Chains A and B, each alone.
Chain A
Amino acid sequence: MGRIAVLIWKELIELKEDRDLFGIVILAPILQLFMLGYAATTDVRDVPVVVADADRSVASRALVARFDASPNFTIVDVVTSPNEVDPYLERGRAWIALAIPPGYGEALGRATPQALQVIADGSDANSTNVAIGYATNLIAGYAQALGARLPAGSVTPGIEPRVRVWFNSRLDSRDFMIPGVLALLLLVITTNLSSMGIVREKEVGTLEQLNVTPLRRWELIVGKLLPYALVGMVDVCLVLAVAVLWFQVPLRGSVTLLFALTLVYLMSTLGLGLFVSTISSTQQQAMMTTIFFFLMPMIYLSGFIFPIENMPAVIQPLTYLLPLRYYLVILRSIFLKGVGLETLWPDALALAAWGIAILSLAVARSTKRAA
């Protein structure tokens, strides 16, 4: 037992002395979360609009003013003919163009319904959808206000939808993204530490030295991984503090459960790093393998940004192989829903199984090898 403690102590000292590494694994995550927390917003604001006002009447200017006043839109320019909007869309100076036909004001005065063209830049399909939605909403509200002033027949009341959003009433995408960023940061940092740390000793030759010490295999592995787990937990504390105190992401569930399940998660990530180290002979190989075979698939297929339920049926079963998938569900549930183990036990179990499996595989591989 004392032997492991010595090894852990050695690892921690080495880590502390490598000032660069220390800074990177402790300070950089905070910086990253800070930046990425602010980046993660799907709320579309200040959409640049170019208006082709062929009417130039009081009514058309009133409509343009409506757009200008809305926080969702910024009027980039007002031109006269619809043909003039082409360069704006091509150069990306505007995302949508609003075309007001000549005679708009007059038709409005006679209460004749008319349709306005909204030309959209479809190369950014996501934002375009949202922008068109905003424009439609704005015009619908404007039309309603206009209609209310006219002595038209009253509209019969019908079925009114009342929407209530659970867990995230502001529909703040930040509350959804920040736990995801935390999970990803942990993954990147701890797999790097464990995969590179061990291969480096292989490359430099100090692994041989450790081999001739009276340390047994499992003691060596535990002694190597435990300091990294410690680093991971410190990172979690720091990132959690920023998330809750600065970004005010609600943390409705049990913090203890969060830490406990994070430890289980770390078992998977560190085990993964260890496994990669057993199949790589140089640090370059370890890095490439970690990034391309594990980190990249996880960022795309784990449900971090792209919902798993949207993926084709053949791909969805593959996502069960990713520990990040389970940890994301766990994190987001603890943050946003405040649920406990009684709901999360399937994911927790899967995470634990994954961790044990990969660690066993890694240990088995490292014991069979001669060096």
Chain B
Amino acid sequence: MRKTLAVARKELRQIVRDRRTLVILLVLPVFFLLLYGYALNWDIRHVRIAVDDRDHSAESRSLVSAFVNSGYFDLVAAADDRTIRALLDRSEVRAILIIPSGLGRAVRTARPIAVQVLLNGDNANTATTVMSYALTIVRSESARYQPTAAQPLVSVEPRIWYNPELRSTLFLVPGLIAYITMITAVVSTALSIVREKERGTMEQVRMAPIDAGPFVVGKTIPYFAISLVSALGIVIAAMALFGMPMRGSWLVLLLALSLFLIGALGIGLFISSVADTQQVAFQAAMLASFLPTFMLSGFIFPISSMPPFLQVVTYAVPARYFLRALRAIVLKGTGIETVWPDLAALVGFALAVLTLAAVRLRRQWR
């Protein structure tokens, strides 16, 4: 126990000496939460649209007004045959509405007529949403001319729990918290052991009467303290500045956060124990955490939509469990009786990773 603390104290002293790293670990995460939380959302508005109105009737103008008045579209240009290609190639617009000549007459004489909506498919995510906007607008404009339209026999009345306005911020901010916390933790420990290997001070550690296990734990402690402070800072900033609610228990949140951090720090330590140079450790840490956490944790892409083999891989991504637990605690207000499977997974992960790191190190020391 004393040896573990001795290692921790030494590590802490070294950390404090590197001012820039310390500031980065403590201050930047909060700054980034603010920046990205403010900058990012999926609520798609101000969709740039161009119109090719070949009819110039009252009805066609009414249709165009419907688009503009919806609040989702910005009419930026008039298009014609020659400019359509260029507008889409240069992505100057997301959609082009082409109204054929004869629309007004067709509507007045109750004959069917089709309008074309060209969608810019270069961003599939946005295009899907823009398409549903456009379809809804055209259909409701069409319904205005059908006074006897029968009400559908069955319709849907949505009720949304936890996030009634479907604010994407409330969905994104927990994800941001998980992501920033994960990267900070992995990155802070990834170089800690391998640096000693490269500099040659590892030899001195080997000669000291300390075993690999306590050494690994001792290394984790100061980074854990720093990361915890940083992570709590982010959570509080999220609540104060983005109105992220806290409907659950602080104690459970703290527990989930701590378990997550230990696992993430453990990944960094494991990479550090395996790598021989800091450069390799850096690359490995990046490749293990940067993109995978972003894309496999359920932050952006729902895991249930991924192919089965990939879903299995996501079980090895600790952010997956933490994100689910975080959302449950913060947005749903559920307690430990609901989130314990995720917490158990985090415990298992942390234990596994730290053990692996210690085992690797012990083998190298022999």
Q: State whether A36 touches B291 (Cβ < 8 A).
A: yes
Name the residue of chain B whose CB is nearest to the CB of A145.
B153
Q: What 1/0 mask marks residues of chain B from 289 to 301 whose CB sits below 8 Å from any chain A CB? A: 0111011100011
In the assembled complex, the Cα of A297 lies from the Cα of B32 at a distance in Å of: 8
A192→B190 CA distance, assembly (Å): 14
Q: Does A9 belong to the interface (CB within 8 Å)?
A: no
Q: Which residues on A sit within 8 Å (CB–CB) of B301?
A: 39-42
B87 → chain A closest CB, angstroms: 10
Bits for A175-207, please: 1 = Cβ < 8 Å to B, else 0: 110000100110011001100110010011000
Instruction: Tell me whether A41 and B306 are in contact (CB under 8 A).
Output: yes
Which of B3-11, B214-222, B278-286 contacts its partner? B278-286
B36-44, B202-210, B346-354, B358-366: which lies at the A interface? B36-44
Query: Once the chains bind, are B117 and A21 in contact (CB under 8 Å)?
Result: no
Quick one: which of B88, B91, B146, B302 contacts A127, CB cutoff 8 A?
B302
Q: Which of B105-142 touch A at CB < 8 Å?
A: 107, 110-128, 131-132, 134-135, 138-139, 141-142
CB-based nearest A residue for B330: A123
Among B38, B128, B292, B307: residue with most chain A CB under 10 A: B128
Bound together, the chains give a CA A283 to CA B278 distance in angstroms of 7
The reply on A5 being an interface residue by CB < 8 A is no
Question: Which chain B residues numbered 320 to 336 have a C-beta less than 8 Å away from chain A?
Answer: 324, 327-328, 331-332, 334
**Cβ contacts under 8 Å, A46 to chain B:** 304-305
- Inter-chain CA distance A136–B158, complex, in Å, is 9
Beta-carbon contact of B117 and A164 below 8 Å: yes
- The answer, yes or no, to whether B225 is at the interface (CB within 8 Å) is no
Name the contact of B332 in the complex, choosing from A45, A123, A140, A306 (C-beta under 8 A).
A123
Q: Is B177 interfacial (CB-CB < 8 Å)?
A: no
Residues of B within 8 A of A312 (CB): 38-39
Q: Which of A125, A168, A301 has the most CB of B within 10 A?
A: A125
Q: How far is the CB of B306 from chain A (nearest CB, A)?
A: 6
Q: How far is the CB of B313 from chain A (nearest CB, A)?
A: 7
Contact among B161, B166, B183 with A119 in the assembled complex (CB-CB below 8 Å):
B161
Digit string of B142-170 for contact with A (CB within 8 Å is 1, else 0)?
11011011111111111111111011101
What does the 1/0 interface line of A328-370 toward B look like (CB < 8 Å)? Answer: 0100110011010001000000000000000000000000000
Please state if A24 and B284 are interface contacts (CB–CB under 8 Å). yes
Would you give the shortest CB distance from B68 to chain A, in whole angstroms?
17
Q: Give CA–CA (A35, B301) in the complex, Å.
A: 13
Among the listed B138, B286, B327, which residue makes an inter-chain contact with A161, where contact means beta carbons less than 8 Å apart?
B138
- Residues of chain A from 82 to 130 with CB closer than 8 A to chain B in the complex: 89-92, 108, 111, 113-129
Q: Are A20 and B280 in contact (CB under 8 A)?
A: yes
Q: Which of A122, A181, A306 contacts B163 (CB 8 A)?
A: A122
The interface-forming segment of B16-24, B231-239, B249-257, B258-266 is: B16-24
Cα of A152 to Cα of B150 in the assembled complex, Å: 9
Q: Is A188 a contact of B287 with CB atoms below 8 Å? A: yes
Q: Does A246 contact B (CB under 8 A)?
A: no
Is A90 touching B338 in the complex (CB atoms < 8 A)? yes
Does A28 lie within 8 Å of B154, measured CB to CB? Answer: no
* A229 CB → nearest B CB, Å: 17
Which residues 25-44 of A sit at the B interface, judged by CB distance below 8 A? Answer: 25, 28, 32, 35-36, 38-44
Tell me whether A156 and B113 are in contact in the complex, defined as CB-CB below 8 angstroms, given that A125-B170, A188-B290, A289-B20 are known contacts. no
Q: Are the C-beta atoms of A192 and B122 separated by less than 8 Å?
A: no
Closest to A90 in B: B334
- Which residue of A has the minimal Cβ distance to B333? A90
Tell me how far the C-beta of A93 lies from the nearest C-beta in chain B, rounded to whole angstroms: 10
Interface pair A25/B283, CB less than 8 Å apart: yes
Q: How far is the CB of A43 from chain B (nearest CB, A)?
A: 6
For the complex formed, measure the closest distance between the CB of A207 and the CB atoms of chain B, giving whole angstroms.
Answer: 14
| A146 contacts the other chain (CB 8 A) | yes
A-B pairs, top 10 by smallest CB distance, nearest first, are A122-B163, A168-B121, A158-B142, A157-B112, A159-B142, A161-B138, A125-B171, A122-B160, A173-B124, A167-B121
A interface residues, Cβ below 8 angstroms from B: 18, 20-21, 24-25, 28, 32, 35-36, 38-48, 63, 89-92, 108, 111, 113-129, 132-133, 135-136, 139-140, 142-144, 146-147, 150, 152-153, 155-169, 171-173, 175-176, 181, 184-185, 188-189, 192-193, 196-197, 200, 203-204, 282-285, 287-289, 291-292, 295-297, 299-301, 305-307, 309-312, 315, 329, 332-333, 336-337, 339, 343
Sample 30 A-B pairs with CB under 8 A, ordered by A number. Answer: A18-B277, A32-B291, A40-B295, A90-B338, A92-B324, A113-B155, A115-B154, A119-B159, A122-B161, A122-B163, A123-B162, A125-B42, A126-B42, A126-B171, A128-B163, A136-B156, A136-B158, A143-B154, A150-B153, A153-B150, A158-B112, A159-B113, A161-B117, A173-B125, A176-B122, A181-B291, A200-B279, A203-B198, A292-B32, A296-B32
Residues of B whose CB lies within 8 Å of any CB of A are 18, 20-21, 24-25, 28, 32, 35-36, 38-46, 48, 63, 88-91, 103, 107, 110-128, 131-132, 134-135, 138-139, 141-143, 145-146, 148-164, 166-168, 170-171, 180, 183, 187, 190-191, 195, 198-199, 275-280, 282-284, 286-287, 290-292, 294-296, 300-302, 304-307, 309-310, 313, 324, 327-328, 331-332, 334, 338
